[in-house]
Amino acid sequence: MQIARASASNNGVTVNPTVTFVEGVVQGSLNATSERCGTSCLTYSFVGSSNRGKLDLGTVPVTPTDNDPQSFTALPYATWLDPGGSRSTQTFTVRVSEVTDFDTFVTGLPVVGLVAAPLISLLQQSPFVGSLLAPIIGGSAMADIEVDVGALAPGDTPLAFTYDVVSFDGVKISTNFFPALGLTAETTAPTVLNGPGLGGAGITNPYTRQGSEPFVPAPAVLRATNYNLITWDPRGEHASGGVLQLDNPFYEGRDTSAIISWAAQNTPAQLDRTGDPAVGMVGGSYGGGIELITAATDPRVDAIVPSISWNSLNSSLYPGEVFKSAWATVLLLSLVSTGARINNEIYTAVATGLLFNYLSPADQAALGSSGPTTLLNQLTAPTLLLQGTVDSLFPLAQSAANAERILANPYDTPVKMAWFCGGHGFCLDPVNPDQNDRLYGNTLAWLDQYVSDIGQPADTIPTFQWYDQTGEYYTSDLMPFQAGFTKPIPFTARGAGGLLPIIPVIGGSGPAQEPSFLTSFPGNGVFPTVATNAVNIAVAPNVGDQIVGAPQLTFDYQGIGNGKAVFAQLVDDATGRVVGNMVTAVPVTLDGQARTVTIPMQDIAYT
């Protein structure tokens, strides 16, 4: 253990940080105290580091569910990988502040609270004013944590670190490495890459209790099962340079390939051959999309487990030429709020979609270039697809399209698929308590067989597995789009139809009324409720029938107006909820002519 330099101020806050090295991770404790409140009123924030290192606070577990609030984990910047570099001492600066009753009151005031917090912070750091006002606004101290990397992890001792990987165009991609548990200077391990969701940063906390998504194995799980873990900030986000191109194979795809090449040369990676590490990928949403893109363009990827990802952004965000305005707003806000640097074409597409419900051919081309689509014709990495039954951004059809395209390519690529309650949505119905453990187990079995080459545990994973709306679990040897999966004679329901007045705003589906944290814009716009202005058709399948896949909707219509679409939904009479929280945009032409439309509705898993 090493004792770092203590920093104490005259405003009553003292910090005496200690640093240690545990299973490849630099970690420690701030050991901060306050003369006025002990530790009960203290807050902690990371200020910066001398060498672009990263530090997370309150990360070290003390129980299975609780962490020590004064603990920290640090990722030194790997200066030793630079020419002439070494494992030298790096400084991480942390600020410890008191929060008084006055602070709590003022920051809680409407409007005033927005400026009160930064003003209090500024006053606390003022040498004279801070001491004078400390009894009212609280004190503050800055502590420098000195991390002697060479002493903690001498020689080639594996340790967790961060480093800027240079991509094909010179853009630096901030990359984080965590060694497998038990790794020594003489051993290597297979590697797993875990990309974050849109707007998210690469995981830097080795003790976080989940991966980039709740159903992605946590870093500790992957490390404990003998995998090195690599995470990163995508192009244009957080500590990485460049401009975000939305998982474009010519940009983000090449960034990930650069990380794989770098890992083969600069980490204790098990190699399949020179320059080719044994590597798999996991992640959800944006982090799932990059798996499909990378594996389709870089044959070094041995296996992928993409979850809640997409096949086509056009069919996801602009289905039937109807723009998903609420989801587009949510996604754009997630990027803007984190300071992402975004391709201007994305701003243009969102603006025209929101204002005119229209995407130009150029906008559609930009979205079409971001995603796997035709690239799947050349994907050879065994693929386990995980998709959410209540995902209204990337519905179940996106995973089915990916599976169907991969199975149709000439490489006999192993593909399996699981539909679970989750994704870009909210499970209003019960979730099977075994769901996440099963997905975890499937993911690890997939990696073990195809990345680590340990036995054949992935063979026991069903070809297709799903959970219905009650949380019941089912399996099939066939994919839902393959012949023989459904009955030869489908269940049908018919109705006489009726008049559907098209009234803007009034009578649509939504906004959501539950759960409470999703009842404000824009979140409430992505979760449908039962439409009050609708033509209703009774659908009464037999008890025990399973409806899995995309119901087909056909109707005749005639009308006049400037609307581009009507929306279809299936409603569970037993619960009064829209099945899967899904609606389907049905394009219509209201020119007074009699017309017929046939369209697949959103896929569901319903019993």
* pLDDT mean over 40-56: 97
Provide long-range contacts, Cβ within 8 A and 24+ apart, for 514-519. Answer: 514/428, 515/426, 515/428, 518/426
The pLDDT confidence band at residue 3, using thresholds 50, 70 and 90, is very low
Q: Give 236-257 as a 3 state SS string.
A: CCCCCCCCECCCCCCCHHHHHH
Distances (CA, A) of 11 to 43, 461, 530: 15, 60, 58
- b/e per residue 437-473 (b: at least 16 CB within 10 A): ebbbebbbbbbbbbbbeeeeebeebeebbbbbbebee
Decide: 86 and 233 in contact? Cβ < 8 Å: no
The owner of tokens 């019993």 is 607
Q: Does residue 523 register a pLDDT over 70?
A: no
Residue type for 551, please?
P
- Domains of the chain (ranges; CATH) run 2-152 (no CATH), 161-312+371-476 (3.40.50.1820), 315-367 (no CATH), 516-606 (no CATH)
**pLDDT of 10:** 55
Task: For 548, list phi and psi in degrees, rounded to 5.
Answer: -130, 120
Helix (H) or strand (E) holding 27: strand 25-29
Q: What is the pLDDT of residues 189-240, one digit of tens each?
A: 999 999 999 999 999 999 998 887 778 999 999 999 999 999 999 999 999 9
Q: What percent of the chain has pLDDT over 70?
A: 95
Tell me the pLDDT tens digit for each residue of 403-459. Answer: 999 999 999 999 999 999 999 998 988 899 999 999 999 999 999 999 999 999 999
Q: Which amino acid is at 588?
A: V
pLDDT at position 542, please? 85
Model confidence over 468-514: pLDDT tens digits? 999 999 999 999 999 999 988 888 999 999 999 877 666 667 666 66
Strand 464-467 with 415-420, pairing: parallel
- pLDDT tens, position by position, 327-365: 999 999 999 999 999 999 988 999 999 999 999 999 999
Cβ contacts of 343-352, under 8 Å, gap ≥ 24 = 343/236, 343/243, 343/244, 343/245, 343/246, 346/244, 346/246
Residues 6+ apart with CB under 8 A from 446: 280, 303, 305, 382, 384, 458, 461
Is a pLDDT exceeding 80 seen at residue 522? Answer: no
Residue 101 identity: D
Q: CA–CA separation, 531 vs 526, rounded Å?
A: 14
Residues 530-540 have a mean pLDDT of: 90
Return the minimum-mean-pLDDT range out of 187-191, 281-285, 288-292, 490-494: 490-494
The residue among 416, 420, 424, 378 whose CA lies nearest residue 525 is: 424
pLDDT band of 309, cuts 50, 70, 90:
very high
Q: What is the pLDDT of residue 214?
A: 78
pLDDT at 562: 86
Cis peptide bond upstream of 515, omega within 30: yes
Q: Say if CB 32 and CB 13 are below 8 A apart.
A: yes
* pLDDT of amino acid 430: 83
Supply the angle between the helices 344-356 and 361-368 in degrees, to the nearest 10: 130
In which band, very low, low, confident or very high, does the pLDDT at 1 lie, cut at 50, 70 and 90? very low
Amino acid 174 reads S
Among 91, 7, 95, smallest CA distance to 46 is for 95
H helices of 97-163, in order, are 101-107, 112-125, 127-137, 149-152
pLDDT beyond 60 at 267:
yes
The average pLDDT across 534-553 equals: 91
% of the chain with per-residue pLDDT over 90: 81
Which amino acid is present at 578? V
Predicted confidence (pLDDT) per residue in 104-136, tens digit: 999 999 988 889 999 999 999 888 888 899 999
Q: Report the pLDDT value the prediction gives residue 13, as an integer from 0 to 100.
A: 94
Name the β-bridge partners of 362. Answer: none
Q: 381-385, 518-522, 547-551: which has the minimum mean pLDDT? A: 518-522
> Residue 534 above 80 pLDDT?
yes
**pTM beyond 0.75:** yes
| pLDDT value of residue 583 | 93
Average per-residue pLDDT for the chain: 93
The per-residue pLDDT for 343 is 93
Contacts of 501 (CB under 8 A, 6+ apart): 507, 533
In three-state form (DSSP H/G/I as H, E/B as E, the rest C), the secondary structure along 70-108 is CEEEEECECHHHCCCCCCCEEEEEEEEEECCHHHHHHHC
- Average the pLDDT over each of 6-20, 150-164, 532-546 and give the range with the smallest value: 6-20
